[in-house]
Structure 1
Amino acid sequence: MNKLTVYETITNALRQRFDTAVWAAKQAHDAATNEESVAENKYDTFGLEASYLAHGQSQRVLDCENDWRTFEKKGVVLFEEDDVVALWALVELNEVDKHVPYTKWFFISPCAGGLTVEQHHQSVFLVTPSSPVGKALIGKEEGDEICLRQNGLEVVYEITRVC
């Protein structure tokens, strides 16, 4: 898997998420400031609820912009063959004791944990260093085994590539 292409795909996904957040914030702001949002009696809370939503959407715009800008400014970080897993690493894992190898890809990211992007019909999962998967991967190197909990079961993976 080409790390530069994965990095660009992640950056584009974060930009799209930012654009969507901007659109949603505008919609929420329009709803909050619409003349139909004015309370007709003391029990009519539609306008108040719409203003809370608009505020929350504005916060989401800031968060999404920060995530996108973080990736846009950093640029791709390449790792050498003997490097340990660290922030900005793309990590390939293969399930141990499988007749048919099952591969998973993780990108160690400072933000946007939980985002998944597709690259060549393969999912790449963004994880932060503070997530359980991130904690299991940080500091490991190619050839190390890690245990990940999936659907209540412990699954053993071998790190087959750090780039």
Structure 2
Amino acid sequence: MNKTALLARIVETLEHDVEVLRRAAQTAYETATAEENIAENKYDTLGLEASYLATGQARRTAEIREALLTFQQLRPRDYDPARGIQVSNLVTLEDEDGVQRLLFIGPEGAGLKIGEGAQQVTVITPRSPLGQALLGKGVDDEVRLVVAGVAQVAFVVEVV
């Protein structure tokens, strides 16, 4: 997969997410401030709940905007075997069962999934346990991770 095209898709997805969340936050704000939602008694909490929702959505929108800005400024670097895996590398991992997955080491946007089927790429950050384990590794290196008390092993198949 072409990293430049992947970055463009990540930016496009984040822009879409920001717009969807912005609209949802606006709707929640309008609900929270609507005259008909003014509390009539202590049990009437619709306006208060909508306010909490609007605040949470506004925070999430700000987080995604920050990730978007970071990705817009990111200049992808080619893989350097001497430095190992770094931010902006696209990594193919293969587990012990032969199942492969594509990971993009991004500065933000952890958990974002781009593409479909076998060409799906998951964005991870260096702050995640897997991201930490991958930093500095190279092709054919083994990556060990303990998840919920279970050891998992994967091998770096390709890095771009």
> If the length of structure 1 is used for normalisation, what is the TM-score?
0.86
Aligned residue number for residue 2 of structure 1: 2
Aligned residue number for residue 74 of structure 1: 74
Give CA-to-partner distance per residue, 1:31-52, whole Å, 9 cap, x none.
1111111111233222122212
After superposing the two structures, state which structure 1 stretch, 153-162 or 126-135, moved more.
153-162
* Shift of residue 140, structure 1, vs aligned partner: 0.6
Aligned residue number for residue 12 of structure 1: 12
Matches within 5 A, 1:1-163: 1-80=1-80, 82-96=82-96, 98=97, 101-118=98-115, 121-149=118-146, 153-163=150-160
Structure 1 CA distance for aligned equivalents of residues 76 and 15 of structure 2: 16
Unpaired runs of at least 5, structure 2: none
Change (3 A) 1:115 1:152: farther
The answer on whether the counterparts of 1:128 and 1:134 sit within 8 Å (CA) in structure 2 is: yes
Change (3 A) 1:120 1:76: farther
Unpaired runs of at least 5, structure 1: none
Q: Secondary structure at the match of 1:161?
A: strand
Amino acid at match of 1:66: E
Amino acid at match of 2:140: G
Structure 1 CA distance for aligned equivalents of residues 42 and 119 of structure 2: 54
Q: Aligned-pair RMSD on alpha carbons? A: 2.1
Structure 2 CA distance for aligned equivalents of residues 68 and 160 of structure 1: 29
Structure 2 CA distance for aligned equivalents of residues 86 and 141 of structure 1: 10
After superposing the two structures, state which structure 1 stretch, 59-68 or 87-96, moved more.
87-96
Structure 2 CA distance for aligned equivalents of residues 119 and 75 of structure 1: 24
* Shift of residue 120, structure 1, vs aligned partner: 6.9
Structure 2 CA distance for aligned equivalents of residues 37 and 8 of structure 1: 42
Amino acid at match of 2:153: V
State the percentage of identical aligned residues: 36
The answer on whether the counterparts of 1:84 and 1:162 sit within 8 Å (CA) in structure 2 is: no
Structure 2 CA distance for aligned equivalents of residues 27 and 121 of structure 1: 37
> If the length of structure 2 is used for normalisation, what is the TM-score?
0.87
Structure 2 CA distance for aligned equivalents of residues 31 and 75 of structure 1: 41
Change (3 A) 1:76 1:147: same
Give CA-to-partner distance per residue, 1:105-156, whole Å, 9 cap, x none.
1111111111111167422111111111111101111121112456865342
After superposing the two structures, state which structure 1 stretch, 101-110 or 77-86, moved more.
77-86
Structure 2 CA distance for aligned equivalents of residues 83 and 3 of structure 1: 19
* Shift of residue 10, structure 1, vs aligned partner: 1.4
